[in-house]
Structure 1
Amino acid sequence: MSSGNEASLTVPDGRVVEYLDGGDPSGLPVFFQPGSPNTRTIGKLWHPAAVAAGVRLISVSRPGYGGSTAIVGRPTLSAVGRDIVALATLLGLDQYAVVGSSGGGPFAVAAAAADPQRVRALGVVAGSGPWRELADPSAEPEERACLARLDEGDLAGARAGMRDLVENVWQAGLRELDGDARLDAWLGDDPLAGDGTYRAIMADAMREVLEGTEGAVFDGLALGGAWDVDLHAIQAPTLLWYGDADDVCPVVYGRWYAERIANAELVVIPDEGHLAVGDSHRPEVLTALLRAWQ
Protein backbone atom coordinates (compact mmCIF):
# COMPACT_ATOMS: atom_id res chain seq x y z
CA MET A 1 0.00 0.00 0.00
CA SER A 2 1.30 3.46 -0.93
CA SER A 3 2.40 5.76 1.86
CA GLY A 4 2.56 8.83 -0.36
CA ASN A 5 3.86 10.04 -3.70
CA GLU A 6 7.49 10.98 -4.28
CA ALA A 7 7.83 14.39 -5.91
CA SER A 8 10.17 17.34 -6.30
CA LEU A 9 9.97 21.00 -7.26
CA THR A 10 12.53 23.62 -8.23
CA VAL A 11 12.54 26.61 -5.89
CA PRO A 12 13.33 30.16 -7.08
CA ASP A 13 17.09 29.92 -6.52
CA GLY A 14 17.27 26.94 -8.87
CA ARG A 15 17.67 24.19 -6.30
CA VAL A 16 15.53 21.07 -6.29
CA VAL A 17 13.57 20.22 -3.13
CA GLU A 18 12.40 16.62 -2.82
CA TYR A 19 9.31 15.74 -0.81
CA LEU A 20 6.84 12.96 -0.06
CA ASP A 21 3.20 13.94 -0.59
CA GLY A 22 1.20 11.67 1.71
CA GLY A 23 -1.81 11.43 3.96
CA ASP A 24 -5.21 12.49 2.65
CA PRO A 25 -4.77 14.26 -0.74
CA SER A 26 -7.87 16.36 -0.08
CA GLY A 27 -6.95 17.16 3.52
CA LEU A 28 -5.58 20.33 5.05
CA PRO A 29 -1.88 20.63 4.14
CA VAL A 30 0.76 20.16 6.83
CA PHE A 31 4.49 20.33 6.04
CA PHE A 32 6.62 17.93 8.07
CA GLN A 33 10.29 18.38 8.92
CA PRO A 34 11.90 15.05 9.95
CA GLY A 35 14.60 14.70 12.58
CA SER A 36 18.32 14.81 11.91
CA PRO A 37 19.88 13.10 10.13
CA ASN A 38 16.84 11.96 8.19
CA THR A 39 14.80 12.41 5.03
CA ARG A 40 11.27 12.83 3.75
CA THR A 41 10.93 9.02 4.00
CA ILE A 42 10.03 9.42 7.69
CA GLY A 43 6.75 10.92 6.48
CA LYS A 44 5.67 7.34 5.76
CA LEU A 45 5.53 6.73 9.51
CA TRP A 46 3.09 9.64 9.82
CA HIS A 47 1.00 8.62 6.79
CA PRO A 48 -1.63 6.45 8.57
CA ALA A 49 -2.26 9.08 11.22
CA ALA A 50 -2.46 11.75 8.53
CA VAL A 51 -5.04 9.77 6.56
CA ALA A 52 -7.12 9.24 9.70
CA ALA A 53 -6.92 12.92 10.69
CA GLY A 54 -7.71 14.24 7.22
CA VAL A 55 -4.28 15.80 6.75
CA ARG A 56 -2.28 16.09 3.57
CA LEU A 57 1.22 15.51 4.94
CA ILE A 58 4.08 16.93 2.87
CA SER A 59 7.35 15.59 4.24
CA VAL A 60 10.44 17.41 3.01
CA SER A 61 14.07 16.39 2.54
CA ARG A 62 16.30 19.27 3.58
CA PRO A 63 19.25 20.47 1.43
CA GLY A 64 21.80 17.73 0.78
CA TYR A 65 19.51 14.80 1.59
CA GLY A 66 18.33 12.52 -1.22
CA GLY A 67 17.43 14.51 -4.31
CA SER A 68 17.33 17.88 -2.53
CA THR A 69 20.11 20.10 -3.83
CA ALA A 70 22.74 21.04 -1.26
CA ILE A 71 23.21 24.69 -0.27
CA VAL A 72 26.65 26.07 -1.13
CA GLY A 73 26.51 29.07 1.22
CA ARG A 74 26.19 29.15 4.97
CA PRO A 75 23.63 26.63 6.27
CA THR A 76 20.85 28.38 8.19
CA LEU A 77 17.46 27.56 9.63
CA SER A 78 15.82 30.32 7.62
CA ALA A 79 17.03 28.80 4.33
CA VAL A 80 14.83 25.78 5.00
CA GLY A 81 12.01 28.02 6.17
CA ARG A 82 12.14 29.81 2.81
CA ASP A 83 12.11 26.45 1.00
CA ILE A 84 8.85 25.53 2.73
CA VAL A 85 7.36 28.90 1.82
CA ALA A 86 8.43 28.40 -1.81
CA LEU A 87 6.97 24.89 -1.91
CA ALA A 88 3.68 26.17 -0.50
CA THR A 89 3.54 28.82 -3.21
CA LEU A 90 4.43 26.38 -6.00
CA LEU A 91 1.76 23.98 -4.73
CA GLY A 92 -0.81 26.77 -4.72
CA LEU A 93 -1.49 26.66 -0.97
CA ASP A 94 -3.21 29.68 0.56
CA GLN A 95 -2.68 28.38 4.09
CA TYR A 96 -0.92 25.49 5.75
CA ALA A 97 0.54 24.17 9.00
CA VAL A 98 4.07 23.05 9.81
CA VAL A 99 5.36 20.46 12.25
CA GLY A 100 8.87 19.26 13.02
CA SER A 101 10.21 16.42 15.11
CA SER A 102 13.54 16.33 16.97
CA GLY A 103 16.17 18.05 14.79
CA GLY A 104 13.42 19.04 12.37
CA GLY A 105 11.70 21.17 14.99
CA PRO A 106 13.73 24.36 14.49
CA PHE A 107 13.25 24.17 10.72
CA ALA A 108 9.47 24.01 11.16
CA VAL A 109 9.76 27.01 13.48
CA ALA A 110 11.75 28.82 10.79
CA ALA A 111 8.95 28.27 8.26
CA ALA A 112 6.33 29.67 10.64
CA ALA A 113 8.48 32.75 11.19
CA ALA A 114 9.11 33.20 7.46
CA ASP A 115 5.43 33.04 6.45
CA PRO A 116 3.30 34.28 9.37
CA GLN A 117 0.34 35.16 7.16
CA ARG A 118 -0.17 31.69 5.67
CA VAL A 119 1.05 29.37 8.45
CA ARG A 120 -2.02 28.63 10.53
CA ALA A 121 -0.52 26.26 13.12
CA LEU A 122 2.95 25.19 14.26
CA GLY A 123 3.92 22.00 16.04
CA VAL A 124 7.25 21.02 17.61
CA VAL A 125 7.57 17.41 18.77
CA ALA A 126 10.57 16.84 21.06
CA GLY A 127 12.33 19.48 18.99
CA SER A 128 15.91 20.57 19.27
CA GLY A 129 16.68 24.00 20.66
CA PRO A 130 19.77 26.26 20.59
CA TRP A 131 21.80 23.54 22.26
CA ARG A 132 25.06 25.46 22.56
CA GLU A 133 23.21 27.99 24.68
CA LEU A 134 21.16 25.55 26.74
CA ALA A 135 23.19 22.35 27.03
CA ASP A 136 26.09 21.62 29.35
CA PRO A 137 29.12 23.58 28.02
CA SER A 138 31.18 20.39 28.05
CA ALA A 139 28.77 18.59 25.69
CA GLU A 140 29.86 17.75 22.13
CA PRO A 141 33.36 19.32 22.19
CA GLU A 142 34.25 18.27 18.63
CA GLU A 143 31.06 19.72 17.22
CA ARG A 144 31.55 22.88 19.24
CA ALA A 145 35.01 23.25 17.68
CA CYS A 146 33.48 23.15 14.19
CA LEU A 147 30.85 25.68 15.17
CA ALA A 148 33.48 27.99 16.65
CA ARG A 149 35.03 28.17 13.18
CA LEU A 150 31.62 29.06 11.80
CA ASP A 151 31.31 31.83 14.41
CA GLU A 152 34.64 33.20 13.21
CA GLY A 153 33.47 33.29 9.58
CA ASP A 154 35.47 30.26 8.47
CA LEU A 155 32.70 28.48 6.58
CA ALA A 156 35.08 26.21 4.67
CA GLY A 157 36.80 25.13 7.87
CA ALA A 158 33.49 24.57 9.64
CA ARG A 159 32.21 22.48 6.74
CA ALA A 160 35.38 20.42 6.58
CA GLY A 161 35.32 19.75 10.31
CA MET A 162 31.63 18.81 10.33
CA ARG A 163 32.09 16.58 7.27
CA ASP A 164 34.92 14.77 9.02
CA LEU A 165 32.67 14.18 12.04
CA VAL A 166 29.85 12.88 9.85
CA GLU A 167 32.05 10.55 7.81
CA ASN A 168 34.49 9.31 10.40
CA VAL A 169 32.53 9.41 13.64
CA TRP A 170 28.75 9.36 13.07
CA GLN A 171 28.65 7.20 9.93
CA ALA A 172 31.84 5.16 10.22
CA GLY A 173 30.55 2.56 12.67
CA LEU A 174 27.39 2.01 10.64
CA ARG A 175 29.29 1.57 7.39
CA GLU A 176 31.23 -1.31 8.91
CA LEU A 177 28.01 -3.26 9.47
CA ASP A 178 25.62 -4.95 7.06
CA GLY A 179 21.91 -5.68 6.85
CA ASP A 180 20.04 -6.08 10.11
CA ALA A 181 23.15 -5.37 12.18
CA ARG A 182 23.47 -1.93 10.60
CA LEU A 183 19.79 -1.19 11.05
CA ASP A 184 19.86 -2.38 14.67
CA ALA A 185 22.80 -0.07 15.36
CA TRP A 186 20.93 2.81 13.70
CA LEU A 187 17.77 2.18 15.73
CA GLY A 188 19.59 1.67 19.03
CA ASP A 189 17.11 1.32 21.90
CA ASP A 190 14.13 2.41 19.79
CA PRO A 191 11.07 0.69 21.32
CA LEU A 192 9.66 0.11 17.82
CA ALA A 193 12.81 -1.61 16.55
CA GLY A 194 11.01 -4.97 16.38
CA ASP A 195 8.11 -3.78 14.21
CA GLY A 196 8.52 -4.95 10.60
CA THR A 197 6.83 -1.99 8.90
CA TYR A 198 8.75 0.49 11.03
CA ARG A 199 12.04 -1.29 10.29
CA ALA A 200 11.42 -1.22 6.55
CA ILE A 201 10.75 2.52 6.53
CA MET A 202 13.72 3.26 8.76
CA ALA A 203 15.97 1.06 6.60
CA ASP A 204 15.01 3.11 3.52
CA ALA A 205 15.72 6.34 5.37
CA MET A 206 19.04 5.04 6.70
CA ARG A 207 20.25 4.01 3.26
CA GLU A 208 19.55 7.46 1.88
CA VAL A 209 21.19 9.21 4.83
CA LEU A 210 24.33 7.10 4.41
CA GLU A 211 24.59 7.83 0.67
CA GLY A 212 26.21 11.18 1.38
CA THR A 213 27.27 13.66 4.03
CA GLU A 214 25.97 17.03 2.87
CA GLY A 215 22.55 16.76 4.51
CA ALA A 216 23.99 15.95 7.92
CA VAL A 217 26.65 18.66 7.51
CA PHE A 218 23.94 21.19 6.68
CA ASP A 219 21.87 20.17 9.69
CA GLY A 220 24.80 20.19 12.08
CA LEU A 221 25.89 23.70 11.11
CA ALA A 222 22.38 25.16 10.87
CA LEU A 223 21.19 23.72 14.18
CA GLY A 224 24.38 24.47 16.09
CA GLY A 225 25.25 27.81 14.51
CA ALA A 226 23.77 31.20 15.30
CA TRP A 227 20.01 31.03 14.81
CA ASP A 228 18.60 33.49 12.27
CA VAL A 229 14.91 33.06 13.10
CA ASP A 230 12.75 35.81 14.64
CA LEU A 231 10.51 33.83 17.00
CA HIS A 232 8.50 36.97 17.72
CA ALA A 233 7.36 37.00 14.08
CA ILE A 234 5.39 33.77 14.55
CA GLN A 235 1.65 34.41 14.67
CA ALA A 236 0.34 30.86 14.43
CA PRO A 237 -0.89 28.97 17.49
CA THR A 238 2.08 26.88 18.55
CA LEU A 239 1.99 23.49 20.25
CA LEU A 240 5.10 22.06 21.89
CA TRP A 241 5.35 18.42 23.00
CA TYR A 242 8.22 17.29 25.25
CA GLY A 243 8.88 14.30 27.48
CA ASP A 244 10.12 14.89 31.00
CA ALA A 245 12.45 11.88 30.65
CA ASP A 246 13.96 13.12 27.36
CA ASP A 247 17.71 13.68 27.72
CA VAL A 248 18.23 14.29 23.97
CA CYS A 249 15.88 17.25 23.55
CA PRO A 250 14.91 18.04 27.14
CA VAL A 251 11.96 20.05 28.38
CA VAL A 252 14.20 23.10 28.80
CA TYR A 253 14.10 23.44 25.01
CA GLY A 254 10.30 23.49 25.07
CA ARG A 255 10.31 26.11 27.81
CA TRP A 256 12.75 28.21 25.79
CA TYR A 257 10.33 28.23 22.83
CA ALA A 258 7.29 28.82 25.02
CA GLU A 259 8.89 31.90 26.57
CA ARG A 260 9.55 33.46 23.15
CA ILE A 261 6.66 32.47 20.90
CA ALA A 262 3.36 34.21 21.51
CA ASN A 263 0.34 31.93 21.77
CA ALA A 264 2.49 28.87 22.53
CA GLU A 265 1.34 25.91 24.63
CA LEU A 266 3.85 23.49 26.16
CA VAL A 267 2.67 19.92 26.76
CA VAL A 268 5.00 17.94 29.04
CA ILE A 269 4.47 14.19 28.79
CA PRO A 270 5.34 12.30 31.99
CA ASP A 271 7.92 9.53 31.97
CA GLU A 272 8.59 9.61 28.23
CA GLY A 273 11.98 9.81 26.56
CA HIS A 274 12.92 11.22 23.17
CA LEU A 275 11.91 8.34 20.91
CA ALA A 276 8.64 7.70 22.73
CA VAL A 277 7.53 11.32 22.33
CA GLY A 278 8.37 11.27 18.62
CA ASP A 279 6.79 7.92 17.82
CA SER A 280 3.79 7.60 20.13
CA HIS A 281 1.75 10.76 19.63
CA ARG A 282 1.31 11.29 15.90
CA PRO A 283 -2.53 11.08 15.88
CA GLU A 284 -2.94 13.53 18.74
CA VAL A 285 -0.30 15.89 17.30
CA LEU A 286 -2.09 16.12 13.95
CA THR A 287 -5.53 16.40 15.56
CA ALA A 288 -4.30 19.18 17.84
CA LEU A 289 -2.74 21.06 14.93
CA LEU A 290 -6.03 20.96 13.04
CA ARG A 291 -7.90 22.12 16.12
CA ALA A 292 -5.45 25.01 16.56
CA TRP A 293 -5.86 25.90 12.87
CA GLN A 294 -9.59 26.57 13.21
Structure 2
Amino acid sequence: MREVITLPDGRAAQYWDNGLDGPAVVFFHGCPDTRHAAMTGAPAAAALGVRLVAVNRPGYGLSTRHASTQSSVADDTVRVADLLGIDRFAALGMSVGTAYALVCAARHPDRVRALGLAAGPDGRRQERGTVEEVVARFRPELEEWVARVRPDDPDDHALSDRFLADLPPADATLLRATRTPAEVAASVREALADHDGYLRDAALTFRPWDAGLDDVRCPVRTWPDDRERHFSILLAGWPEILAALR
Protein backbone atom coordinates (compact mmCIF):
# COMPACT_ATOMS: atom_id res chain seq x y z
CA MET A 1 0.00 0.00 0.00
CA ARG A 2 1.24 3.51 -0.79
CA GLU A 3 2.43 5.48 2.23
CA VAL A 4 2.97 8.91 0.67
CA ILE A 5 0.29 10.95 -1.04
CA THR A 6 0.76 14.19 -2.97
CA LEU A 7 -1.32 17.15 -1.85
CA PRO A 8 -2.79 19.55 -4.45
CA ASP A 9 0.06 22.05 -3.92
CA GLY A 10 2.70 19.36 -4.50
CA ARG A 11 3.69 18.70 -0.88
CA ALA A 12 4.04 15.12 0.32
CA ALA A 13 1.94 13.73 3.15
CA GLN A 14 3.02 10.42 4.67
CA TYR A 15 0.15 8.36 6.01
CA TRP A 16 -1.01 4.95 7.19
CA ASP A 17 -4.38 3.44 6.30
CA ASN A 18 -5.62 0.03 7.41
CA GLY A 19 -7.74 -0.01 4.25
CA LEU A 20 -10.89 -1.44 5.79
CA ASP A 21 -14.31 -0.66 4.34
CA GLY A 22 -16.03 0.79 7.38
CA PRO A 23 -16.68 4.00 9.29
CA ALA A 24 -13.49 6.07 9.22
CA VAL A 25 -11.52 7.41 12.17
CA VAL A 26 -8.67 9.80 11.32
CA PHE A 27 -5.99 9.88 14.00
CA PHE A 28 -3.89 12.94 14.91
CA HIS A 29 -0.69 11.73 16.54
CA GLY A 30 1.15 13.19 19.52
CA CYS A 31 4.59 14.81 19.73
CA PRO A 32 7.13 13.56 18.93
CA ASP A 33 5.20 10.74 17.34
CA THR A 34 3.95 9.63 13.95
CA ARG A 35 1.36 7.54 12.11
CA HIS A 36 3.00 4.57 13.85
CA ALA A 37 0.92 5.34 16.95
CA ALA A 38 -2.23 4.50 14.99
CA MET A 39 -0.77 1.14 14.05
CA THR A 40 -1.10 0.09 17.69
CA GLY A 41 -4.86 0.33 17.17
CA ALA A 42 -4.92 -1.96 14.13
CA PRO A 43 -6.22 -5.07 15.98
CA ALA A 44 -9.03 -3.13 17.68
CA ALA A 45 -9.95 -1.40 14.43
CA ALA A 46 -10.11 -4.71 12.59
CA ALA A 47 -12.30 -6.24 15.29
CA LEU A 48 -14.70 -3.29 15.14
CA GLY A 49 -14.67 -2.87 11.36
CA VAL A 50 -13.24 0.65 11.57
CA ARG A 51 -11.13 2.25 8.86
CA LEU A 52 -8.24 3.79 10.80
CA VAL A 53 -6.08 6.42 9.09
CA ALA A 54 -3.21 8.57 10.35
CA VAL A 55 -1.23 11.31 8.60
CA ASN A 56 2.21 12.55 9.61
CA ARG A 57 2.12 16.29 10.13
CA PRO A 58 4.61 18.50 8.22
CA GLY A 59 8.15 17.90 9.41
CA TYR A 60 7.54 14.31 10.51
CA GLY A 61 8.90 11.41 8.47
CA LEU A 62 8.38 11.98 4.75
CA SER A 63 5.74 14.70 5.15
CA THR A 64 7.11 17.90 3.62
CA ARG A 65 8.34 20.50 6.10
CA HIS A 66 5.93 23.43 6.04
CA ALA A 67 5.14 26.56 8.07
CA SER A 68 2.06 24.78 9.34
CA THR A 69 -0.66 25.92 11.69
CA GLN A 70 -3.42 23.95 13.35
CA SER A 71 -5.77 25.23 10.66
CA SER A 72 -3.47 24.27 7.79
CA VAL A 73 -3.04 20.78 9.24
CA ALA A 74 -6.81 20.45 9.53
CA ASP A 75 -7.24 21.47 5.90
CA ASP A 76 -4.44 19.12 4.76
CA THR A 77 -6.12 16.26 6.60
CA VAL A 78 -9.37 16.85 4.77
CA ARG A 79 -7.46 16.93 1.47
CA VAL A 80 -5.88 13.56 2.31
CA ALA A 81 -9.32 12.21 3.18
CA ASP A 82 -10.55 13.41 -0.21
CA LEU A 83 -7.68 11.65 -1.99
CA LEU A 84 -8.38 8.44 -0.07
CA GLY A 85 -12.07 8.56 -0.92
CA ILE A 86 -13.20 9.28 2.66
CA ASP A 87 -16.21 11.56 3.05
CA ARG A 88 -17.21 11.84 6.71
CA PHE A 89 -14.98 10.68 9.54
CA ALA A 90 -14.40 10.89 13.27
CA ALA A 91 -11.33 12.89 14.30
CA LEU A 92 -9.27 11.40 17.15
CA GLY A 93 -6.42 13.36 18.72
CA MET A 94 -3.84 12.02 21.15
CA SER A 95 -1.87 14.35 23.45
CA VAL A 96 -0.62 17.31 21.36
CA GLY A 97 -2.69 15.91 18.50
CA THR A 98 -5.89 16.86 20.34
CA ALA A 99 -5.45 20.50 19.31
CA TYR A 100 -5.27 19.54 15.64
CA ALA A 101 -8.26 17.18 15.86
CA LEU A 102 -10.32 19.85 17.63
CA VAL A 103 -9.49 22.50 15.02
CA CYS A 104 -10.28 20.04 12.23
CA ALA A 105 -13.72 19.40 13.72
CA ALA A 106 -14.35 23.13 14.14
CA ARG A 107 -13.23 24.06 10.62
CA HIS A 108 -14.89 21.16 8.82
CA PRO A 109 -18.25 20.43 10.49
CA ASP A 110 -19.54 18.96 7.24
CA ARG A 111 -16.82 16.31 7.32
CA VAL A 112 -16.14 15.53 10.98
CA ARG A 113 -19.02 13.55 12.52
CA ALA A 114 -17.46 12.98 15.97
CA LEU A 115 -14.43 14.18 17.93
CA GLY A 116 -12.31 12.17 20.36
CA LEU A 117 -9.70 13.80 22.62
CA ALA A 118 -7.32 11.46 24.46
CA ALA A 119 -4.77 12.63 27.04
CA GLY A 120 -4.75 16.21 25.79
CA PRO A 121 -2.81 19.06 27.44
CA ASP A 122 -4.67 21.10 30.04
CA GLY A 123 -4.00 24.41 28.28
CA ARG A 124 -2.56 26.15 31.32
CA ARG A 125 0.94 26.57 29.90
CA GLN A 126 1.24 29.49 27.49
CA GLU A 127 4.46 30.58 25.79
CA ARG A 128 5.17 34.22 24.93
CA GLY A 129 6.27 35.41 21.50
CA THR A 130 5.83 34.30 17.92
CA VAL A 131 5.90 30.69 16.77
CA GLU A 132 9.44 31.23 15.48
CA GLU A 133 10.57 32.67 18.83
CA VAL A 134 9.09 29.73 20.74
CA VAL A 135 10.72 27.29 18.32
CA ALA A 136 14.10 28.94 18.94
CA ARG A 137 13.65 28.67 22.73
CA PHE A 138 12.66 24.99 22.55
CA ARG A 139 15.37 23.91 20.09
CA PRO A 140 18.34 23.46 22.50
CA GLU A 141 16.36 21.21 24.86
CA LEU A 142 15.07 19.11 21.97
CA GLU A 143 18.53 18.73 20.44
CA GLU A 144 19.96 17.69 23.81
CA TRP A 145 17.26 15.01 24.15
CA VAL A 146 17.71 13.78 20.56
CA ALA A 147 21.46 13.48 21.13
CA ARG A 148 20.72 11.26 24.13
CA VAL A 149 18.15 9.11 22.30
CA ARG A 150 20.36 8.79 19.16
CA PRO A 151 17.67 7.96 16.59
CA ASP A 152 20.33 7.27 13.95
CA ASP A 153 21.51 4.20 15.91
CA PRO A 154 20.92 1.11 13.68
CA ASP A 155 20.54 -1.10 16.77
CA ASP A 156 16.74 -1.39 17.20
CA HIS A 157 16.94 -2.83 20.70
CA ALA A 158 19.32 -0.17 22.04
CA LEU A 159 17.33 2.67 20.48
CA SER A 160 14.04 1.28 21.76
CA ASP A 161 15.46 0.90 25.27
CA ARG A 162 16.75 4.50 25.36
CA PHE A 163 13.44 5.90 24.16
CA LEU A 164 11.32 3.81 26.55
CA ALA A 165 13.54 4.76 29.50
CA ASP A 166 12.18 8.32 29.29
CA LEU A 167 8.52 7.22 29.46
CA PRO A 168 6.40 6.66 32.58
CA PRO A 169 6.97 3.03 33.70
CA ALA A 170 3.40 1.96 32.94
CA ASP A 171 3.66 3.30 29.39
CA ALA A 172 7.04 1.69 28.79
CA THR A 173 5.81 -1.68 30.07
CA LEU A 174 2.74 -1.62 27.84
CA LEU A 175 4.71 -0.53 24.77
CA ARG A 176 7.19 -3.35 25.32
CA ALA A 177 4.28 -5.79 25.54
CA THR A 178 2.52 -4.54 22.40
CA ARG A 179 5.32 -3.36 20.07
CA THR A 180 8.57 -5.00 19.06
CA PRO A 181 11.88 -3.13 19.44
CA ALA A 182 11.99 -2.79 15.65
CA GLU A 183 8.54 -1.17 15.62
CA VAL A 184 9.40 1.25 18.43
CA ALA A 185 12.71 2.13 16.75
CA ALA A 186 11.01 2.73 13.39
CA SER A 187 8.56 5.13 14.99
CA VAL A 188 11.32 7.04 16.81
CA ARG A 189 13.43 7.36 13.66
CA GLU A 190 10.45 8.62 11.68
CA ALA A 191 9.43 11.10 14.40
CA LEU A 192 12.91 12.58 14.73
CA ALA A 193 14.07 12.49 11.10
CA ASP A 194 13.42 16.24 11.03
CA HIS A 195 13.20 18.34 14.20
CA ASP A 196 10.81 20.83 12.60
CA GLY A 197 7.73 18.69 13.23
CA TYR A 198 8.32 18.48 16.97
CA LEU A 199 9.28 22.13 17.34
CA ARG A 200 6.26 23.52 15.47
CA ASP A 201 3.96 21.18 17.39
CA ALA A 202 5.32 22.40 20.71
CA ALA A 203 5.22 26.07 19.73
CA LEU A 204 1.65 25.89 18.40
CA THR A 205 0.35 23.83 21.33
CA PHE A 206 1.55 26.27 23.97
CA ARG A 207 0.11 29.34 22.29
CA PRO A 208 -3.59 30.19 21.71
CA TRP A 209 -5.27 27.49 19.59
CA ASP A 210 -7.07 28.25 16.34
CA ALA A 211 -10.41 27.06 17.80
CA GLY A 212 -11.98 25.94 21.06
CA LEU A 213 -14.55 23.37 22.12
CA ASP A 214 -17.30 25.99 21.82
CA ASP A 215 -16.60 26.03 18.07
CA VAL A 216 -17.21 22.29 17.65
CA ARG A 217 -20.70 21.17 16.63
CA CYS A 218 -20.30 17.38 16.56
CA PRO A 219 -20.43 15.00 19.57
CA VAL A 220 -17.24 15.05 21.64
CA ARG A 221 -15.75 12.30 23.82
CA THR A 222 -12.76 12.86 26.08
CA TRP A 223 -10.34 10.53 27.83
CA PRO A 224 -8.44 12.72 30.34
CA ASP A 225 -4.68 12.56 30.72
CA ASP A 226 -2.93 10.65 33.48
CA ARG A 227 0.76 11.54 33.68
CA GLU A 228 1.56 8.12 35.17
CA ARG A 229 0.16 6.40 32.09
CA HIS A 230 0.07 9.00 29.32
CA PHE A 231 0.42 6.76 26.25
CA SER A 232 -1.46 3.95 27.93
CA ILE A 233 -4.67 5.98 27.68
CA LEU A 234 -4.50 5.18 23.98
CA LEU A 235 -2.64 1.86 23.97
CA ALA A 236 -4.97 0.18 26.44
CA GLY A 237 -8.04 2.13 25.37
CA TRP A 238 -8.24 1.49 21.63
CA PRO A 239 -11.28 -0.84 21.79
CA GLU A 240 -13.28 1.59 23.94
CA ILE A 241 -12.18 4.67 22.01
CA LEU A 242 -12.87 3.27 18.55
CA ALA A 243 -16.21 1.80 19.65
CA ALA A 244 -17.25 5.22 20.95
CA LEU A 245 -16.23 6.96 17.72
CA ARG A 246 -17.48 4.33 15.31
TM-score range, shorter chain: 0.7 to 0.9
- Structure 2 residue identity aligned to 1:240: T
Runs of 4 or more, structure 1, over 4 Å off, are none
Q: Deviations over 1:207-262 (max 9, x none)?
A: 1123221111121111112211243231111110125xx13xxxxxxxxxxxxxxx
Cα 1:13–1:129 change in 2 (3 A) is farther
Q: Distance in 2 between matches of 1:62 and 1:42?
A: 13
Of residues 1, 9, 33 in structure 2, which corresponds to 1:38? 33
Q: In the alignment, does 2:129 pair up with 1:149?
A: yes
Q: In the alignment, does 2:14 pair up with 1:18?
A: yes
Q: Which of 1 and 2 has greater Rg?
A: 1
Q: Distance in 2 between matches of 1:45 and 1:76?
A: 27
Cα 1:176–1:123 change in 2 (3 A) is closer
Measured after TM superposition, the shift of residue 193 of structure 1 is 4.2
| TM-score (structure 1 length as normaliser) | 0.74
Measured after TM superposition, the shift of residue 173 of structure 1 is 1.3
Cα 1:177–1:241 change in 2 (3 A) is same
Question: In structure 1, what is the equivalent of residue 141 of structure 2?
Answer: 165
Q: Distance in 1 between matches of 2:151 and 2:111?
A: 46
3-state SS of paired residue (2:40) = helix
Cα 1:199–1:181 change in 2 (3 A) is closer
Q: Deviations over 1:145-202 (max 9, x none)?
A: xx4232xxxx54433333333212x212112995333312211321224326343322
Written as runs of structure 1 = structure 2, the 5 A alignment for 1:111-260 is: 111-132=104-125, 147-150=127-130, 155-168=131-144, 170-175=145-150, 178=153, 179=155, 180-188=157-165, 189=169, 190-195=172-177, 197-243=179-225, 246-247=226-227
Q: Runs of 5+ in structure 2 lacking a partner?
A: none
3-state SS of paired residue (1:132) = coil
Whether contact under 8 Å (1:106, 1:129) holds in the other structure is no
Whether contact under 8 Å (2:151, 2:189) holds in the other structure is no
Q: In the alignment, does 2:216 pair up with 1:282?
A: no
Whether contact under 8 Å (1:6, 1:21) holds in the other structure is no
Whether contact under 8 Å (2:151, 2:188) holds in the other structure is no
Aligned residues: 239
3-state SS of paired residue (1:283) = helix
Q: Distance in 2 between matches of 1:165 and 1:129?
A: 22
Q: Distance in 1 between matches of 2:142 and 2:2?
A: 27
Q: In the alignment, does 2:68 pair up with 1:78?
A: no
- RMSD of Structure 2 on Structure 1 (CA): 2.2
Question: In structure 2, what is the equivalent of residue 92 of structure 1?
Answer: 85
Q: Runs of 5+ in structure 1 lacking a partner?
A: 134-146, 248-271
Cα 1:34–1:18 change in 2 (3 A) is same
The more displaced of 273-282 and 61-70 is 273-282
Q: Distance in 2 between matches of 1:176 and 1:287?
A: 35
Q: Which has the higher contact order (CA 8 A, sep 6+)?
A: 2
Q: Deviations over 1:18-58 (max 9, x none)?
A: 10011x52111110111110111222111111111111111
Q: Percent identity?
A: 37
3-state SS of paired residue (1:239) = strand
| TM-score (structure 2 length as normaliser) | 0.87
